[in-house]
Amino acid sequence: MTTMTIQDHQQAGPLAELNPASLPQSPAWLQPMREQALARFNKLGLPTTRDEDWRFTNVAPIRDALLELSPNGQAVTLSQRDADTCAVPGVTGSRLVFVNGRFNASLSSIKPLPQGVRVLSLAEAIETEQALLKTHLGKLADFEDQPFTALNAALADDGVVVCVPRGKQVDEPIYLLNITTADKPLLINPRNLIVVEESAAVTVIEDYVSLNGEGVYLNNAVTEVVVGDNAHATHYMLDRESTEAFNISSLYSRQGRDSRFESHTALLGGSIVRNNVTSVLDGEGAWSQLNGLYVIRGDQTADNHMRVVHAKPHGDSRQFYKGIMNDRAKGVFRGRIVVDPDAQKTDAKQSNQNLLLSPDAGVNTDPQLEIFADDVKCTHGATIGQLNEEQVFYLRSRGVPYDTARAMIIYAFASETIDRMGCEPIRRLLKGQLLDRLPAGEVLKKIL
């Protein structure tokens, strides 16, 4: 439990203390959640490095950024061309564009979807999907000890609601393009709810990108994914924020029996980035894969917090996270696997591998197991290393120059993670961005 000190409240801005007047207008059924979240946030305050969960990441720069709430209803002009420039090239399917956290219908296009599939903005869903939201909104994203989730629950008034009814499959991904144009230090709280009913399937891409690659702001996103029995949900989180920006993303999933959940994450941008993934395997035979890559440089921080909970027997979970840190960048990986007493025959695997490219780069990796069942298979492993000089020499001995040899090995390291991602345009984008950052990337582009 967090104990607040006077000092933590000294800063102004919305993160010091939420005023009930800042809560968005909500229907009566939603108001209690907002008020509880607000009270909770004000009780918890922003975390400090004295909090176990935030030991390695100091969020003081976020608090000190004097963030302003994203103004409601105020139109931000953004051309279709700008929006297209920001998008991942080649991603087909429905695209929902958010500018500074507000759904922009004119920049968005929703393709024909199978009958009964709903894809709409949260603002609209609050009006029209009361039953769905009452059942699911906020049910996974517990904010009891999560200040940023509480902040989002109190303030979020836009985002996306996707509901895929029983047996329906959405073939093309649903692409949520979040563009921030910030000329002001905005606090944006995107909130998404994805409900995939029994035997249904969908892929949702959540992409955060800064217009012109600049701006100080915080995207504090929460996404809940409800995966029904035998359903298959795939989620992508792409962080391509400006290197001054902050991004705190919390993904919560709960799976039914025999279901599959895939989470793919790529963190490239942002000054301080926190990626929380909570995956609950709440049905027998569920399968969950959390696959992620963080590639950071300069003074970037990328902090990954995984929590995988096996609540029922015969669940399989896989966590594969890799990090590449250059300059003074700092990576964090904290992965916890919890196996409940009932979750016999669990097969849980966790791997975190890190590559440090500079003597000043660093990473903290901390795998944790909490196992309360006796017939389970759980493995975890973490590695931190410099580039393998044996491999570099082998390539050089065949004529490959030093920079190219290094680049090939770094590229190969990251490719393993990227190649798990089923979405080809995303793979292409990530590989391209990776090569752009490597000294001999241009040479490699010709042969890879």
Partner 1 sequence: MLEIKNLHARIEDNEILKGLDLTINPGEVHSIMGPNGSGKSTLAQVLAGREDYEVTEGSITYNGKDLLDLSPDERAGEGVFMAFQYPVEIPGVTNTQFLHAAINAQRKYRGQDEIDAIEFLKLAKQKRQMMKIDDSLLSRSVNEGFSGGEKKRHEIYQMAMLEPKLAILDETDSGLDIDALRIVADGVNSLRGSDRSFVVITHYQRLLSYVVPDFIHVLYKGKIVRSGGKELALELEEKGYAWIEEQIEAAAV
- Interacting residues with partner 1 (CB under 8 A): 390-391, 393-402, 404-405, 408-409, 411-413, 415-416, 443-444, 446-448
| Cα(273)–Cα(295) distance, integer angstroms | 12
Instruction: Provide the 8-state DSSP code for 423.
Output: -
251 vs 438, beta carbon nearer partner 1: 438
Smallest separation, CB 394 to partner 1 (Å): 4
Closest CA to 434 of 324, 272, 358, 352: 324
Smallest separation, CB 390 to partner 1 (Å): 5
75 vs 447, beta carbon nearer partner 1: 447
Radius of gyration of the chain (CA): 21
The region that residue 191 occupies, defined by phi over 0 for left and psi between -120 and 50 for alpha, beta otherwise, is: beta
| Cα(103)–Cα(208) distance, integer angstroms | 14
Residues forming beta bridges with residue 369, ordered by sequence position: 337
CB atoms within 10 A of CB 89: 10
What is the residue whose two structure tokens read 């989180």?
237
Structure token digits, residue 213: 């690659």
Smallest separation, CB 291 to partner 1 (Å): 15
264 vs 312, beta carbon nearer partner 1: 264
29 vs 402, beta carbon nearer partner 1: 402
286 vs 405, beta carbon nearer partner 1: 405
297 vs 396, beta carbon nearer partner 1: 396
Smallest separation, CB 441 to partner 1 (Å): 13
Q: Are 371 and 345 in contact (CB under 8 A)?
A: no
Smallest separation, CB 308 to partner 1 (Å): 25
Smallest separation, CB 416 to partner 1 (Å): 5
123 vs 392, beta carbon nearer partner 1: 392
Q: Are 198 and 149 in contact (CB under 8 A)?
A: no
Smallest separation, CB 270 to partner 1 (Å): 26
Give all strands (DSSP E) within 142-217, no chain letters: 158-164, 174-180, 186-188, 190-196, 201-210
Within 13 Å and on the Cβ side, how many CA atoms surround 298? 10
Angle separating helix axes 31-44 and 147-155, nearest 10 degrees: 150
Q: Are 13 and 68 in contact (CB under 8 A)?
A: yes
Query: Phi, psi (5° rounding) for residue 419?
Result: -70, -15
**DSSP H or E segment with residue 354:** strand 347-356
69 vs 392, beta carbon nearer partner 1: 392
Structure token digits, residue 93: 């399917």
372 vs 402, beta carbon nearer partner 1: 402
Smallest separation, CB 419 to partner 1 (Å): 9
| Cα(93)–Cα(113) distance, integer angstroms | 9
Q: Are 1 and 145 in contact (CB under 8 A)?
A: yes
Smallest separation, CB 443 to partner 1 (Å): 8
